[in-house]
Amino acid sequence: MTFRCAVCGEPVEERMSAACNWCDQRYHLNQRNDIEAKDCGQVWIDEQYMALQFACNNCLADGGSDPSLADNPRAVRRIPVRPRPAARLRRYRRRI
């Protein structure tokens, strides 16, 4: 499947692209070290959540409402956290 790169506008295959965490658009990302390919963004490890963060060059350069990663590549995008479930209720009665 082919997509259009959000940064350069050229066609990009799904296996040689990534989806930006901020704008959800596809961009060129070389995911292999053994071949030369175009990169239109970055990927890094978020040390707080131990997860990969993906960002296209448009979002890295944009100083909009989301944190700008151009100044601080280790900045963390705020991820909504689910509240902890309430304590489980017993499914049986205590015997007297």
Give the domain ranges of the chain. 2-61
Residue 70 confidence class, pLDDT cut points 50, 70, 90 = very low
Give SS3 for 3: strand
Question: What was the pLDDT predicted at 92?
Answer: 64
Class of domain 2-61: alpha beta
Look up residue 68 and give its two tokens: 């700008």
pTM: 0.61
- Dihedral through CA 29, CA 33, CA 38, CA 40, nearest 10? 40
Q: Which residue has the higher pLDDT, 61 or 74?
A: 61
Question: Quick one: average pLDDT of 63-71?
Answer: 46
Look up residue 21 and give its two tokens: 């965490």
Question: What percent of the chain stands above pLDDT 90?
Answer: 42
